[in-house]
Each structure stands twice: as structure tokens, then as C-alpha cells.
């Protein structure tokens, strides 16, 4: 496995692969990798001749500096995991390498980017689009892989690819969960032991709400989740919305959409966690 830190090294390596007609898959990450990331890498390895994994903690997508400072950094362990997964190239650049000058580009994809995460984390998706578009231009992948846990991010990246005419396929991959149901996240390692036990209630409540939805209205189901979350000591909810999975706009009845997704964000102690579930009625 090759580890490169500069764009020049990356392009030189990939040019050689393309000269041999090899396809390239990209898995963008911010490091602190877990089994969820591994599932993306393993899928890319199966579907492409060469898999590039970027490890870059992107400062432009953090609207909270303390959140950026808290984010775990585990490059050595990340590389060990990626080698086991079969990745051929790790791209781990510095901030100066990626942003030699401030990126002043503005990305706007309303109404997809103005709700939920967009409302609670102003500037977040602009930073996501800055770094992801840069990676697409650097790597020029045939396919890029993203997890469905970041459901809204995936929708926005699809829209960016469409509007910027990037010649690649975006592959969404299912949420990977811990044995107890908690959605895998790099932030989970920041939870205290007590918070980790508490956090599993997120997936439990969402799963219960899917069963509840079979005999209740959307409004009743939304209220059920909100009340259950509010009853957990140590949770500070930000939002729970049931949206159309394509437009990400909130719906008011089950009949409003055939693709219904419940999206949640909350703080468990100081750590912000997100999750989602699809309602099939």
C-alpha cells in the first residue's frame, strides 16, 4: 500500500494506473476509521482496479472549532486497517497542500442544503463540497463511495456531481452498526462509557418508531420519537424530521412520499451524533 502526501505524488501514481486501463475508486474520509469505513473500502476494492482512500480532517466543514479540535486523529491505526482492507493508495495531505490559498468558492443547492444539518451547522455543507470537489479533481475517480449514515451529505454530493458534471458514479453504502445497534461513527470513541451505553437508545428508538409507524400517523410517529428521546437523561435533541428521501423536505403524512426517511441529530453529553431510518409501510 502506497501512502502519499502531495497532489503531485498522487497524480503520478494514478496516471500510471490509468495508462494500464485501470479503474479508480475513491473513499473520502476524515480518518479515525472504523468498520463502517472498512465496508466502503472493501466495496471499492471489489468494484475497481485501484482504491484510493483520502484521510484529511477538513477544517472548512467545521463551524465549531472545538468540534474540530476534539475530532480523533489516528493515522497509524487508520493505515493498518486500510492495508487489511486491500486499499492500494492512501492520500494523507496537509492542510496547506489542499488549501494553498483560502477556498472562497460558494456551493448552494437549495432546498436540499438548507434544512436539518444545513440549518444547525451553517457553512458545513459548503465546506464538504469544497473538499469533496477538490478530491474529485485530484483523484478523478470512476466511482466514489459514501455512507448513508450521512444521508443529507450524500444527497448534496449527488446534486453537486450532477451540477458540476463530474464524470463519476456516486455509490451510497448502507449504515454499518455496532452489535447493539449504534450507528458506527468516528465520534463514538469520544463518548464516555456511560454515554456509550446511553447512545444506543438512538437506534433503539428509531427502530421502535418504524414498528410504531405501521399503525400510527406520521405526526404521531414523529411525536413518539421526540418524546422518547426527550425522556433519556443526557440527550440534548437538535431535530428529528421525517423527510422525502429525494428532496429532504419534511413531509406531513405517509402519503406525501414513497421514500420516507427519519433523520435525527442530538448531543449525547458534548458529542453530537446523527442517525436515520427508512419507513417502509
State the catalytic residues.
37
Give the separation between CA 35 and CA 14, rounded to whole angstroms.
26
Give the separation between CA 280 and CA 260, rounded to whole angstroms.
7
Work out whether strand 89-91 and strand 2-4 pair parallel, antiparallel, or are unpaired: parallel
CB atoms within 10 A of CB 38: 19
- The strand order across the sheet containing 260-268 reads 235-244, 260-268, 271-279
Amino acid at each position: 500500500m502506497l501512502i502519499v502526501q502531495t497532489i503531485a505524488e498522487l497524480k503520478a501514481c494514478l496516471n500510471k494506473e490509468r495508462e494500464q486501463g485501470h479503474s479508480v475508486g475513491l473513499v473520502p474520509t476524515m480518518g479515525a476509521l472504523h468498520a463502517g469505513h472498512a465496508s466502503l473500502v472493501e466495496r471499492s476494492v471489489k468494484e475497481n482496479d485501484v482504491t484510493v482512500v483520502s484521510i484529511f480532517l477538513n477544517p472548512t466543514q467545521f463551524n465549531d472549532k472545538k468540534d474540530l479540535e476534539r475530532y480523533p486523529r489516528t493515522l497509524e491505526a487508520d493505515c493498518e486497517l486500510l492495508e487489511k482492507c486491500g486499499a492500494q493508495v492512501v492520500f494523507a495531505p496537509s492542510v496547506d497542500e489542499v488549501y494553498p490559498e483560502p477556498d472562497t468558492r460558494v456551493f448552494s443547492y437549495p432546498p436540499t442544503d438548507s434544512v436539518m444539518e444545513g440549518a444547525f451547522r451553517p457553512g458545513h455543507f459548503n465546506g464538504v463540497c469544497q473538499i469533496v470537489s477538490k478530491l474529485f479533481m485530484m483523484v478523478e475517480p470512476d466511482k466514489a463511495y459514501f455512507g448513508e449514515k450521512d444521508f443529507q451529505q450524500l444527497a448534496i454530493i449527488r446534486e453537486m456531481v450532477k451540477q458540476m458534471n463530474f464524470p463519476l458514479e456516486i455509490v451510497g453504502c448502507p449504515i454499518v452498526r455496532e452489535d447493539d445497534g449504534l450507528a458506527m461513527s468516528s465520534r463514538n470513541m469520544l463518548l464516555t462509557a456511560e454515554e456509550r451505553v446511553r447512545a444506543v437508545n438512538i437506534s433503539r428508538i428509531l427502530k421502535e418508531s418504524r414498528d410504531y409507524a405501521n399503525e400510527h400517523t406520521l405526526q404521531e410517529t414523529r411525536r413518539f420519537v421526540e418524546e422518547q428521546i426527550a425522556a433519556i437523561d443526557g440527550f440534548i435533541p437538535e431535530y428529528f424530521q421525517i423527510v422525502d428521501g429525494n428532496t429532504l423536505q419534511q413531509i406531513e403524512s405517509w402519503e406525501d412520499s414513497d421514500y420516507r426517511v427519519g433523520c435525527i441529530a442530538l448531543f449525547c453529553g458534548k458529542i453530537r451524533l446523527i442517525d436515520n431510518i427508512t419507513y417502509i409501510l
